[in-house]
Amino acid sequence: MKRAELLAPAGNMEKMKMAFHYGADAVYLGGKVFNLRAGSHNFTEEELREAVRYAHDRDKTVWVTLNIIPHDHETAGLAEYVKFLDEIGVDGVIVADLGVFQIVQENSNLAISVSTQSSNTNWRSVKMWHEMGAKRVVLARENTLENIALIREKVPGIEIEVFIHGAMCMSVSGRCLLSNYMTARDANRGDCAQSCRWKYSIVEGGKDNEGDYKEVLDGDEPTHIFSSKDLCTIEIIDKILDLGVDSLKIEGRMKGIYYVSNVVRSYREALDSYYSGSYKYDEKWLRELETISHRKYTTGFYFGQPDSDAQNYNNRNSYSQSHQLVAKVVEKVDENTYILAVRNRIFSGEELEVISNTGEPKIITLPTMTQIKGNFEEEVEVSHPNTTVRITLNTDISELDMVRRVLPEEKE
């Protein structure tokens, strides 16, 4: 059976390495130009060379985003950049605009994936892209399982990629003008201010009740009325795989390493279970996905038009999470000694969890730490973010493991 690719976001080199370590088959990432995540760290040309080498040494795949929707003056240098990507061995590029599509074809042999920004929701548009030379189409999030099955049937020769996890947009395939209108930051040039995530109080004042405004929502506090819940398909992943799609995409180039690693890890286990021939849903997958910072989850459009439950209409607190990343294991010095890069303040004597790319979390009690500052070392009971410490543990852990704490339960 042909296996679907598990495709993870990589906002920088560290996130890419973590994505591969925790089970991704491929990553998508952006260079410093021509991509829709201006706020992400992104990759210099030298970093792109290194990323491709690193991925190919592990039989992994790299897709580079060229998904900007440009004006003419913004295409300057694109042809040369495309030639560079081809020369360093990038596996393919993600394109939203027809002009960019043509420039890629004229200047390289790169495989082209048509971005979700192109809003493909029917088989004829997918067929047209295929006839123009696209290798893959990233379907719009507004497709149902039934739609995807029909597209797969009608256009068997093209690869189909679908989103399985991450942020959802209030507009069709991200074609939103709110940010541009309210902050002069253009979402279609990678600079979205995410105006839909803000709190609003909404009133209605139609022509029949001019001057007599009525509250759209009851209550005294603003709400996240325009903010969609996050997409999560872990409970229906077998139904998506049954369709014969080629790539499963996780959203989140702006998210941290804990998000990327844990989401990849959960879906990797689900995919491996599916391809084992004896698939069985495991509730721990969803529990782990609830440990990361997220909005409440929805299955989006997969079962048809989402109802009012897909928006955060009455959700006063837009985000929730049950755990917090506090450190990453950067080196195993010997059998019992480890170097940690601290991400959030940690305390000697507190109980923490360590998660690896396989297996269950391990419970540890953090010992007294030795903080490392160049040639200077000192024992500490508390270590702060952006410090490096050495610890001695009887528990066996590994490089790139993540250390997390359980947060207090949120009150409704």
Residue, of 268 and 220, whose pLDDT is higher: 268
Confirm if 167 and 194 have CB atoms less than 8 A apart: no
Average pLDDT, the chain: 90
Give the whole-angstrom CA distance, residue 205 versus residue 190. 34
Lookup: tokens for 120 = 């493909």
Main-chain phi, psi angles of 41, to 5 degrees: -60, -45
Find the mean pLDDT for residues 139-146. Answer: 96
Quote the CATH superfamily of domain 5-172+228-312.
Answer: Aldolase class I (3.20.20.70)
Give the whole-angstrom CA distance, residue 216 versus residue 227. 15
* DSSP state at residue 161: E
Which segment of 46-60, 161-175, 289-303 scores lowest on mean pLDDT? 161-175
- pLDDT-derived band at 332, boundaries 50, 70, 90: very high
The amino acid at residue 93 is V
Residues 6 or more apart whose CB falls under 8 angstroms from that of 21 comprise 261, 357, 400
Find the mean pLDDT for residues 272-283. Answer: 96
> How confident is the model at residue 310, as a pLDDT?
63
Q: Terminal CA-to-CA distance of the chain, rounded, Å?
A: 45
Q: Which residues pair with 204 in a beta bridge?
A: 214
- pLDDT-derived band at 168, boundaries 50, 70, 90: confident
> How confident is the model at residue 290, as a pLDDT?
95
> How confident is the model at residue 192, as a pLDDT?
74
Confirm if 40 and 12 have CB atoms less than 8 A apart: yes
Residues 6 or more apart whose CB falls under 8 angstroms from that of 210 comprise none
Confirm if 311 and 245 have CB atoms less than 8 A apart: no
Lookup: tokens for 320 = 């929730």
Give the whole-angstrom CA distance, residue 340 versus residue 403. 9
Find the mean pLDDT for residues 381-399. Answer: 96
> How confident is the model at residue 193, as a pLDDT?
73
Confirm if 387 and 371 have CB atoms less than 8 A apart: yes
Q: Is 333 exposed, middle or buried (0-12, 13-18, 19+ CB in 10 A)?
A: exposed
Sort strands 311-312 and 61-66 into parallel, antiparallel or unpaired: unpaired
- pLDDT-derived band at 316, boundaries 50, 70, 90: low
Find the mean pLDDT for residues 201-218. Answer: 66
Residue 411 has pLDDT above 60, yes or no: no
Where in the chain are the domains? 5-172+228-312, 323-406
CATH class of 323-406: mainly beta
Q: Residue 59: how many CB atoms within 10 A of its CB?
A: 8
- pLDDT-derived band at 217, boundaries 50, 70, 90: low
Query: For the chain, how long is the longest CA-to-CA vector?
Result: 76
Lookup: tokens for 217 = 């929502």
Element (H, E) at 36: none
> How confident is the model at residue 174, as a pLDDT?
66
Residue, of 215 and 113, whose pLDDT is higher: 113
pLDDT digits (tens, 9 = 90+) for 72-126: 998 999 999 999 999 999 999 999 999 999 999 999 999 999 999 899 999 999 9
